[in-house]
Structure 1
Amino acid sequence: MSKIIIIFLFMINQSLALKLNSKANKKYLLELYTSESCSSCPAAEKWLNSFRESDLLWKKVIPLEFHVDYWNHLNWKDPFSKRVFTQRQYNYNKVLKSGVYTPQIISNGNNNRYWRFRKPRFDEEDSSYVLIVDFDEVKGVAKVQINKGEDLTCYGALMKNTEVRNITSGENSGRKLIHEFVVINLRSSKMESDRSLNTCQLQFDKKTLEKSKSFAFWVSDSKTLKVLQAVGADF
């Protein structure tokens, strides 16, 4: 009996090793910068949430919701807000000169001010970048590689889904907010280059992994912050 149990546990551990391959298919990384203290943000969250039921999810569109902390003084503290997410938005502003505001949509490293007015197009384009991720859920280690490029940074995000929040104070007092794709952990690392291949390794803690429902990985140009390729999936 003990041998059967050992074999069964080994099989479980083996099944938790995931491999994602973007192939030569261009993905769109959509980053929403938002806050529970922002009265104009629920409309943007609803827009991002709509991808949960879309055939484009993970195949073409990788949605992320970053909660910033600079609105926490408005009589409500957003529990998902992190200073590192605010700094990421400020980093975009340094490059794009786009301003810092909520809600803000960044698509593949480009500011998108017209998300609410125009139906988004996600063209069926081929990409010269192929991103491969080996993600060991047991150890929380992800090995990321991309086929080409110089001065690159790799990122990994863990997300919660369908978080229902009753807001009792601040600008959204009395509203029920539903968060999808809300980032709870972000890891990054400079990629090491070996001829035409770039690699990096990201480590996640087990407690955060247990709380997560989805994950995403992507590679950006370290200077321009443009996203070269991305992958994502539900656990």
Structure 2
Amino acid sequence: MMNSRFSDGFWLLCICPLAQAQVWQHAGPPAQVIELFTSQGCSSCPPADRFTHQLGETNSLWETIIPVAYHVDYWDYLGWKDAFSNPAFSLKQRLYHQYDVLSSVYTPGFVVDGKEWRGFFSHQRLPEQNTTAAKALKLTYENQAFTLDYAGEGRFVAHFVLMAMDETTPILRGENAGKVLTYNHVVLDSAQSASENRWSFSPARIPANADAVAAWLTRENSFVPVQTVAGWLTP
């Protein structure tokens, strides 16, 4: 059985019961990639988490906007270990700082299309979206592996994430003690690889709570997405 949808340069194709494969494809301007660095141990983070959740409620999710939330681990010492924290995500944020993408390492911290965005704190609109069209980027999931194919030319770094939605956690200690918080677009696993035209990602396991997948390409000397693709995972 095959289901497809085509709208504004976005094509989502899911081939599931027979071929046991899922395919997502996007062409045209890339979606806006909104990366949030957050923590369950940060009292300033819940509003940013809610903001990211609201972004995901739009009808253009995956097509024009891809929110992703990395939970860092450097606030775990305050008395509550973030259930989604990963030292690799803290390292990613520090690397952003090292490469002058971020002015410092802090939460909540936003990177929008490869650039620091502090407009959240003053309730500003998101930056203008990149309208430069790019060739089709196709992501295939088959035989427990993800393969990314790009129709354009050149060498790129492929960024890959698996995400969970609607994750509710009662916070028992720390700065958010007593709150019951719900998280969306939580990055469970991430990877990146540099190549031309094709990239492969084989997670050791697909987490049972993985609900969505996203990938985007950047040039090796830039953090600005050239093309993106994302969508829901079929159980």
- On the 8 A contact 1:26/1:124 being kept in 2, the answer is yes
**The one of 69, 74, 84 aligned to 1:70:** 74
Distance change >3 Å, CA 11–CA 217, structure 1 → 2:
closer
Distance change >3 Å, CA 188–CA 131, structure 1 → 2:
farther
Following superposition, the deviation at residue 120 of structure 1 comes to 2.4
Q: Aligned to 1:12, what secondary structure does the other structure show?
A: coil
User: Where does residue 232 of structure 1 map in the other structure?
Assistant: 230
Q: C-alpha distance in 2, partners of 1:161/1:223?
A: 32
Q: C-alpha distance in 1, partners of 2:151/2:219?
A: 12
Q: Aligned to 1:53, what secondary structure does the other structure show?
A: coil
- On the 8 A contact 2:34/2:68 being kept in 1, the answer is yes
Task: State the number of aligned residues.
Answer: 217
- On the 8 A contact 1:213/1:234 being kept in 2, the answer is yes
Kindly provide the CA deviation profile for residues 143-165 of structure 1, in whole angstroms up to 9, marking residues without a partner as x: 33251344x21121111100001
User: Where does residue 6 of structure 1 map in the other structure?
Assistant: none
Distance change >3 Å, CA 182–CA 47, structure 1 → 2:
same
Q: C-alpha distance in 1, partners of 2:80/2:74?
A: 11
Q: Which has the higher strand share?
A: 2
Q: C-alpha distance in 1, partners of 2:48/2:26?
A: 27
- On the 8 A contact 1:65/1:183 being kept in 2, the answer is yes
Distance change >3 Å, CA 207–CA 139, structure 1 → 2:
closer
Kindly provide the amino acid, as one letter, of the partner of residue 125 in structure 1.
T
User: Where does residue 26 of structure 1 map in the other structure?
Assistant: 30
User: Where does residue 187 of structure 2 map in the other structure?
Assistant: 183
Kindly provide the CA deviation profile for residues 76-116 of structure 1, in whole angstroms up to 9, marking residues without a partner as x: 11121111111111111112252110000101111000024
Q: C-alpha distance in 2, partners of 1:41/1:174?
A: 15
- On the 8 A contact 2:32/2:130 being kept in 1, the answer is no
Kindly provide the CA deviation profile for residues 22-53 of structure 1, in whole angstroms up to 9, marking residues without a partner as x: 21123100000000000000000000000232
Gaps of 5+ in 2: 1-14
Distance change >3 Å, CA 142–CA 60, structure 1 → 2:
same
- On the 8 A contact 2:164/2:187 being kept in 1, the answer is yes
User: Where does residue 113 of structure 1 map in the other structure?
Assistant: 118
Kindly provide the amino acid, as one letter, of the partner of residue 144 in structure 2.
K
Tell whether 2:210 aligns with 1:215: no
Greater shift, 22-31 or 164-173, is seen at 22-31
Distance change >3 Å, CA 121–CA 55, structure 1 → 2:
farther
Q: C-alpha distance in 2, partners of 1:87/1:13?
A: 41
Q: C-alpha distance in 2, partners of 1:87/1:217?
A: 19
Distance change >3 Å, CA 11–CA 207, structure 1 → 2:
closer
User: Where does residue 4 of structure 1 map in the other structure?
Assistant: none
Taking structure 1 as the reference length, the TM-score comes to 0.85
Tell whether 2:199 aligns with 1:200: yes
Residues 83-122 of structure 1 mapped to structure 2, 5 A cutoff? 83-96=87-100, 97-116=102-121, 117-120=123-126, 122=128
Following superposition, the deviation at residue 130 of structure 1 comes to 2.4
Report percent identity of matched pairs.
Answer: 26
Taking structure 2 as the reference length, the TM-score comes to 0.85
Larger Rg, first or second structure (1 or 2)? 1
The alignment's C-alpha RMSD in Å is 2.0
Following superposition, the deviation at residue 189 of structure 1 comes to 1.1
Q: C-alpha distance in 2, partners of 1:69/1:81?
A: 5
Following superposition, the deviation at residue 200 of structure 1 comes to 1.6
User: Where does residue 42 of structure 2 map in the other structure?
Assistant: 38
Q: C-alpha distance in 1, partners of 2:199/2:126?
A: 32
